[in-house]
Structure 1
Amino acid sequence: MGLVDSLVVFLVSLLIGALGIHVGAVIVTGESDYEYAVWTALIGAIIWGVVGWLFGGIPGLGPVLVFLAYLWVINRRYSGGWLSAAAIALVAWVASVVVLSVLASTGITEFDAFGVPGI
């Protein structure tokens, strides 16, 4: 895959991940700003990657620290505290799975989203 193809896949995955975060934020906090969700997805993915690189290999504790770092990003970016951040993350994950399932079943994209962990 070439550089342009990789960039397109990255951008589409980021936008899908941001859509999940946006849906979660609208449902949980009532905040509706898709651009803000895109930045949240990007920052969350970067933090997820860095913390995963540093601590992800620690059995048991590593994945927990990585997920808490991702929740911390959502908690800092949206109002409502840690429970709201967890709810936004859960809704983001479900929304991304639904969108990616539809897109993957039609052959438009693979099952992958940037900015939402576990997808």
Structure 2
Amino acid sequence: MAETAPAPVLQGAVATESIVSGVLVFLVSFLVGTVAITVGAQVLVDRDTGYRRAAVTALFGAFVYALVGVFFGWIPLLGPILMLLAWVGVINWQYPGGWGTALGIAFVAWLVAVLILYGLSLLGIATDAFGIPGV
């Protein structure tokens, strides 16, 4: 009696599910990061800075954070510090108030992202926050 080979898996279906899942994770993560930066900016900047600015900050901040990580992230202690400074630098560039305000916005954004992600994890939705390092 000859053994039969298992039925082939449709790779197109698997790839489509992976793409949809990846897009969904990106969108939720991007939304969380944008909301967190918006809240941080509203708490520390005296005027309404807009949701669009927070979205740009989240996208550009994540890009700069990753780029610095590629070149310097491997250096123990110094690499992560440089990555964080680059991210805070993007916030400083986008919002008025200087480095102190940028650090405050970064801290509040990180805290808000942690709280949002904790709430999402209670609902069974586990993800990260795009544009917020370390979350």
TM band (smaller chain): over 0.9
Alignment correspondent of 2:121: 104
**CA–CA distance in structure 2, aligned partners of residues 111 and 2 of structure 1:** 15
Aligned-residue CA RMSD (Å): 1.0
Write the mapping of 1:72-87 to structure 2, written as runs, cut at 5 A: 72-87=89-104
**CA–CA distance in structure 1, aligned partners of residues 78 and 25 of structure 2:** 31
Alignment correspondent of 2:22: 6
Q: How far did residue 70 of structure 1 move?
A: 0.4
Letter in 2 for 1:51: V
2:51 aligned with 1:34: yes
After TM superposition, where is structure 1 displaced by more than 6 Å over at least 4 residues in a row? Answer: none
Write the mapping of 1:50-61 to structure 2, written as runs, cut at 5 A: 50-61=67-78
Query: Residue 101 of structure 1 contacts residue 111 of structure 1 at CA under 8 Å; is this kept in 2?
Result: no
**TM-score, normalised relative to structure 2:** 0.84
Deviations 1:79-103 (A, max 9, x none): 0000000000000000011111111
**TM-score, normalised relative to structure 1:** 0.95
**CA–CA distance in structure 2, aligned partners of residues 11 and 38 of structure 1:** 11
Letter in 1 for 2:20: V
Query: Residue 40 of structure 2 contacts residue 104 of structure 2 at CA under 8 Å; is this kept in 1?
Result: yes
Gaps (5+ residues) in structure 1? none
> Which structure has the greater CA radius of gyration?
2
Alignment correspondent of 2:132: 116
Q: How far did residue 22 of structure 1 move?
A: 0.3
Gaps (5+ residues) in structure 2? 1-16
